[in-house]
């Protein structure tokens, strides 16, 4: 057994399963446990949740909902066109087309198993396959469209359980001088920020540069550059090429691999320490909520993110502590948070009036939110966060 369990986040629901009723029958829960593979250095969930339960026509997350993300994808597409002359583009997990719509739509293909999202991009004339990514689909796309200059996948490869098949399906369809980009939350940042809420049903894996580079050892591909990103609370963008491909390898690769080794990302001891930090974070956050409750202050949640679902369910924060959440995503509004059944409302001009505290579910958009809520802050309103440790801001 090379896989060692180091974290138990208790019974958790499907994060994307925003409920139509506050008293649901037969809500699905699973045991959220996290393991470290001492050989491959991969960190993954112990029990994977069946993909059909998570990625279906009810999928709520719309990548275009955040201005920060829209701008980030636009800038990225400009850079990719300039630096790599990327023309034909395949995106795995194309969501609502927030990235692909920045390219010539005639030359791009999306893969998106959530049918509601695939419909949106097909309507934008972006050819989208509403299927799960696998070897079979890669062969179908290869037949229909040939090989690609750029294969891009943000916050998706970490969701796919069979990593070996996923990667070899990508290798098949990538041009010999093409580039494959993976963007996913960084395990180093999770450990540094104690952001244990990166563990939820969809995140089957949280990658490090070390584990990705180990994974690629059985392929004909290698990492040639890594960029650190602020998105999703600290992500890495891994640029991967075929061995012999014409992109030079950048210093960033060895630099980030070394940084991870120095922190102990490849070492079980780091995970044991992380686990005890997480337990302490739970106790401290709960104490903050208890104190606020005692003082009869009014608390709401800000951003009913998937990440926040892990925190609420793990820490036992339900309607006793949080009156309601606000969220700008239309298809979350009017629903209830999974597992904890807190109502989710559409934010209005008046929402933040008479509120004392707002728990930052979307802590990764803290700057955008603080900018938007200047008035709330100037009138003495406070935010609660658990990252990097439970505190009132």
Chain residues binding ligand TMP by CB under 6 A are 61, 65-66, 303, 305-306, 326-329, 332, 362, 364-365, 368-369, 372
User: How far apart are CB 60 and ligand TMP at their closest, in Å?
Assistant: 8
User: How far apart are CB 253 and ligand TMP at their closest, in Å?
Assistant: 27
Structure token digits, residue 102 = 């920045």
Question: Which residue is nearest to ligand TMP, using beta carbons?
Answer: 303
d(CA 137, CA 292): 52
Residue nearer to ligand TMP on the CB measure, 35 or 49: 49
d(CA 138, CA 124): 22
First to last CA, the chain: 43
Please check whether residue 149 is in contact with residue 117, taking contact to mean a CB–CB distance below 8 angstroms.
no
Structure token digits, residue 48 = 């994977």
User: How far apart are CB 303 and ligand TMP at their closest, in Å?
Assistant: 3
User: How far apart are CB 385 and ligand TMP at their closest, in Å?
Assistant: 14
User: How far apart are CB 373 and ligand TMP at their closest, in Å?
Assistant: 8
129 half-sphere exposure, CB direction, 13 A CA radius: 19
User: How far apart are CB 179 and ligand TMP at their closest, in Å?
Assistant: 25
Residue nearer to ligand TMP on the CB measure, 4 or 230: 230
**DSSP 8-state class, residue 343:** B
d(CA 12, CA 9): 8
Residue nearer to ligand TMP on the CB measure, 152 or 271: 152
User: How far apart are CB 339 and ligand TMP at their closest, in Å?
Assistant: 17
Beta bridge partners of 299: 357
Rounded to 5°, the CA angle 215-220-223 comes to 60
d(CA 56, CA 331): 14
**Residue from 157, 247, 288 nearest 211 by CA:** 157
d(CA 383, CA 393): 5
Residue nearer to ligand TMP on the CB measure, 65 or 377: 65
90 half-sphere exposure, CB direction, 13 A CA radius: 25
Residue nearer to ligand TMP on the CB measure, 128 or 305: 305
User: How far apart are CB 345 and ligand TMP at their closest, in Å?
Assistant: 10
Please check whether residue 148 is in contact with residue 240, taking contact to mean a CB–CB distance below 8 angstroms.
no
Residue nearer to ligand TMP on the CB measure, 84 or 365: 365
Strands 127-129, 205-206: pairing is: unpaired
Please check whether residue 93 is in contact with residue 158, taking contact to mean a CB–CB distance below 8 angstroms.
no
User: How far apart are CB 202 and ligand TMP at their closest, in Å?
Assistant: 10
Residue nearer to ligand TMP on the CB measure, 9 or 369: 369
Residue nearer to ligand TMP on the CB measure, 107 or 372: 372
Residue nearer to ligand TMP on the CB measure, 362 or 387: 362
Ramachandran angles phi, psi of 363, nearest 5°: -60, -25
């Amino acid at each position: 057994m090379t896989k060692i369990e180091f974290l138990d986040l208790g019974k958790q629901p499907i994060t994307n399963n925003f409920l139509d009723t506050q008293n649901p029958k037969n809500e699905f829960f699973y045991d959220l446990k996290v393991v470290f593979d001492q050989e491959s250095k991969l960190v993954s969930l112990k029990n994977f949740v069946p993909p059909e339960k998570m990625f279906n026509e009810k999928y709520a997350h719309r990548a275009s909902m955040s201005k920060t993300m829209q701008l980030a994808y636009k800038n990225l597409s400009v850079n990719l066109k300039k630096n790599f002359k990327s023309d034909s583009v395949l995106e795995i997990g194309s969501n609502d087309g927030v990235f692909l719509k920045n390219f010539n739509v005639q030359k791009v293909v999306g893969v998106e198993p959530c049918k509601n999202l695939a419909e949106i991009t097909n309507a934008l004339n972006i050819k989208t396959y509403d299927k799960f990514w696998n070897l079979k689909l890669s062969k179908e796309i290869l037949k229909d469209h040939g090989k690609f200059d750029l294969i891009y996948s943000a916050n998706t490869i970490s969701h796919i359980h069979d990593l070996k098949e996923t990667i070899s399906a990508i290798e098949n369809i990538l041009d010999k001088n093409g580039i494959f980009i993976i963007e996913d939350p960084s395990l180093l940042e999770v450990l540094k920020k104690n952001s244990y809420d990166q563990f939820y049903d969809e995140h089957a894996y949280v990658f490090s540069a070390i584990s990705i580079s180990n994974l690629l050892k059985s392929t004909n591909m290698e990492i040639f550059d890594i960029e650190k990103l602020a998105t999703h609370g600290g992500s890495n963008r891994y640029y991967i090429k075929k061995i012999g491909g014409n992109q030079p390898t950048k210093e960033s690769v060895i630099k980030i691999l070394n940084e991870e080794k120095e922190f102990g990302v490849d070492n079980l001891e780091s995970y044991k320490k992380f686990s005890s930090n997480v337990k302490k974070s739970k106790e401290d956050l709960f104490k903050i909520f208890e104190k606020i409750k005692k003082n009869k202050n009014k608390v709401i949640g800000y951003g009913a993110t998937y990440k926040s679902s892990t925190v609420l369910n793990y820490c036992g924060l339900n309607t006793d502590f949080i009156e309601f959440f606000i969220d700008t995503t239309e298809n979350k509004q009017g629903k209830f948070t999974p597992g904890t059944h807190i109502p989710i409302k559409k934010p209005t001009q008046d929402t933040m009036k008479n509120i004392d505290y707002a728990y930052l579910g979307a802590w990764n958009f803290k700057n955008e939110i603080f900018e938007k809520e200047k008035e709330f802050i100037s009138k003495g309103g406070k935010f609660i966060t658990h990252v990097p440790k439970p505190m009132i801001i």
